[in-house]
A and B are shown apart, each in its own frame.
Chain A
Amino acid sequence: MPQVRIVAKNFMDMVAALPAMKLDQLYDSSFICEAVLRSLPPLAKKYVLQLLFIDAPVTAKSIEEWVLSDGISKHKVAIDRLLQLRVFSEVIDRKKEASYKLNPKFQSNMQRYLVHGGSLPREPMPSSVTVRLPTAEDLEAYALEQWECFLLQLISSAQAERPTNFSPSMMRVFQRGLLSARENEAPRLTENGFQFLLMETNAQLWYIIREYISTAEDRGVDPTDLISFLLELSFHKMGEAYNLNTLTDVQRSAIKDLADLGLVKLQQGRKESWFIPTKLATNLSVSLSDSSSRKQGFVVVETNFRTYAYSTSKLHCEILRLFARVEYQLPNLIVGAITKESLYNAFENGITAEQIVSFLQQNAHPRVAEKTPTVPENVTDQIRLWETDRNRVELIPSHLYEDFPSKEVFEAACDFARDVGGLLWEDSKKMQLIVRGDIHQHMRDFFRRQK
């Protein structure tokens, strides 16, 4: 995954950013404790486990003794994270020595888990009521289709076949930052928007969810409720049906939106209605960098710069169009060519060569994915070369100074510019000198002093 600016880190950063009171309130639910614990770095998990049955505060020094000297940085990260999430609270005693104590609610929840075991957030409905449940494949297909439909609507509202029930205002919230809407002009994808499209599904989903949560307050919903519901949702079993009646009002309104994103599938029986979590929902609390939810790839790139995408999805076509010239489209195949022009277009839109290459590699068709390299080297090299082509000339705003009265003045000026770190070019014969634009003010002061 290339580092892009808009990549949201993960769910837990958001949890950590909550105010202390809200956070403590979250720990009432054992699922959240569980999700928080699982999100911690391995070392932190171990500390929690080790302190789980110790009620008295443990001094920071004695915890530090568990670690070898070369693990001290990891240790600091772990402790910081634990404090940030308020799993540990710091106690400073009379001798000014810090010791740590587990959050009591968190501790008792986890103790209960170890002794009595975890439970499901809610009982799945018996199969006698829910007659036909979709199979795992159907459910995954549904989730992906729903998600693609949403993405298509997001990038160009006109192209979506089935409009989702997100209100236009909600949609605009999602589009904020991804599309730039100028007056009297069709909205264009911004640089971030392009990068967003090239991200993995999980990362995209997380971006949307984050926007969804952060705007919850405007809709009159407490973000804490949403976070706890989403975390709880990830503990449901994929493919099982759960009764809608077991949800609170807030959750019920949220679940409709989540169905639009493909996180859950809603179904209605004769009397009751229920929701079925999909893979997207159950993966939500998993650390997002984890690529355990890998999709099957579809792109084949040949050494002659042709790309064959075995896909029926409009979205894939749109994404390919970002950096390749689509030549023809068959029902299940999109044939395109990566050309200099198409790439320049992409670069102008702020997409980097690395992103394109990693997209091609991540979405490689299984047939070519077995080979190394998955994308021919001459193609990846050329993509990178074309990108560096654009960077051959670097523009620096600068000032030219000439007509110096004497060699001494010129040399003093050169030395001064060099000292400030702004000297770009000098010619002692013609007595000319070019200096960075931002140094100009210093230069002027310097000349004034010379007089």
Chain B
Amino acid sequence: MASLVPPPKLYTDDVSLIVIILDTNPFFWGTLSNTSALTFSFSKFLNHMIPFVNSLLLLNQLNHVVLIASGVASCGYIYDSATAVASDGGQKVPAVCSEILSRLEEFVAKDQRLGKGDLRTVAGSMSSLFSGALSLALCYIQRVFRSGMQHPQPRILCLQGSPDGPEQYVAVMNAIFSAQRSMVPIDSCVLGMQHSAFLQQASYITGGVYLKPQQLDGLFEYFTAVFATDLQSRTFLELPRPVGVDFRASCFCHKKTIDMGYVCSVCLSIFCKHHKKCSTCGSDFSHGHSELDRKRKHSEV
């Protein structure tokens, strides 16, 4: 009898589950702090982010914040406000801060070890494992959905700096579509120099907010003004609107971002060159149109 649960009931509207994806790519943060024009380092960034986490927890006692770091070669959970309270025996924010810092340090060291043998880093590509972090976030949200009858409103916030990795295109797009399916908006805040096509598409498709702050020094104000807003309040608040979305895709064969290409008529895979056979589904294109047409006619009869 105890296992039976009362009927499903949602929390009040403004209880949120916020999964924050944090870019810890050392290449990006290194270049950002080296450029003399913008003196913005990772530690300064944390000075803005940790009060933001605190403020999310302050807004509602049922709010739930999860931090996920995405590094060069790996990604992992950094902080979970639900378990932190249970283990520490008290919601102490100094503890929150030190926990985040120590876990981050551990993560970065591990990420560095893992990334050492990786050819990608040697080749100079400096994108983070964004697709993996996004999938982790969605898995976490699915677990919360299934854990009980009451769950808060989830949303994902990406704090991304490093440029997009075109090789992750398929994985990222799949994650975005699954977020759309489970009605999880993806907010994105781009800290780097360039706009991110991935994040523009992610926010556009899932109905989140895409923002590229002009001044990184005022990051906390951007956070509180835009990203702290719960989903219900967004319907009557003036929030940044998308200016333009970069819908370009990456080809599946060379992972290059392309404007125009070839699309497999069966599985919709994208290629930059004409292939005889689709590498994804194995459909044969070598016979040309005539035979395909005959086959179709045959099957219709």
Contacts and interface: CB of A to CB of B under 8 A. Distances in A.
B236 A290 contact: no
B55 A49 contact: yes
B89 A366 contact: no
B58 A34 contact: yes
Interface stretch (A98-106, A111-119, A142-150, A210-218): A111-119
Nearest to A78: B233
A440 interface: no
Contacts of A71: 235-237
Given A296-B6, A370-B7, A50 B93 contact: no
Nearest to A115: B51
Given A68-B237, A116-B94, A292 B62 contact: yes
Contacts of A208: none
Interface in A51-96: 52-53, 65-68, 70-71, 74-75
Contacts of B94: 116-117
Contact of A120 (B59, B90, B224, B230): B90
Interface string A393-428: 000000000000000000000000000000000000
Interface in B251-292: none
B216 interface: no
A118 B221 contact: no
A252 interface: no
Interface string A358-396: 000000001101100010000000000000000000000
A128 interface: no
B228 A118 contact: no
Contact of B238 (A37, A66, A119, A289): A66
Given A366-B4, A370-B7, A113 B228 contact: no
Contacts of B237: 43, 46, 66-68, 71
B92 interface: yes
A289 B93 CA distance: 28
B37 interface: no
B92 A119 contact: yes
A110 interface: yes
Interface stretch (B8-16, B119-127, B169-177, B187-195): B8-16
A306 interface: no
B241 to A, nearest CB: 12
Contacts of B224: 46, 49-50, 52
Contacts of A68: 235-238
Contact of B6 (A52, A114, A290, A369): A369
A366 B97 CA distance: 42
B220 interface: yes
The number of chain B residues touching the other chain, given as a range, is 35 or more
Given A34-B58, A292-B62, A117 B236 contact: no
A366 B90 contact: no
B34 interface: no
B5 interface: yes
Interface in B1-41: 1, 4-7, 9, 11-14
Contacts of B7: 369-370, 374
Contact of B91 (A65, A74, A118, A294): A118
Given A114-B51, A367-B4, A370-B7, A53 B220 contact: yes
Which of B14, B59, B228, B236 counts the most chain A CB atoms within 10 A? B236
Interface of A: 34, 37-38, 42-43, 45-46, 49-50, 52-53, 65-68, 70-71, 74-75, 110, 113-120, 124, 237, 240, 286-287, 289-292, 294, 296-297, 366-367, 369-370, 374
Interface of B: 1, 4-7, 9, 11-14, 51, 54-55, 58-62, 89-97, 150, 220-221, 224-225, 228-230, 232-233, 235-238
23 contacts: A42-B14, A42-B230, A42-B233, A49-B55, A50-B221, A52-B224, A53-B220, A68-B235, A70-B236, A114-B55, A115-B51, A115-B54, A116-B94, A117-B54, A117-B92, A117-B95, A118-B92, A119-B93, A120-B91, A286-B61, A294-B9, A296-B6, A370-B7
Given A68-B235, A286-B61, A366-B6, 10 more contacts: A38-B58, A43-B233, A46-B237, A52-B224, A67-B238, A74-B236, A113-B54, A120-B90, A124-B90, A366-B1
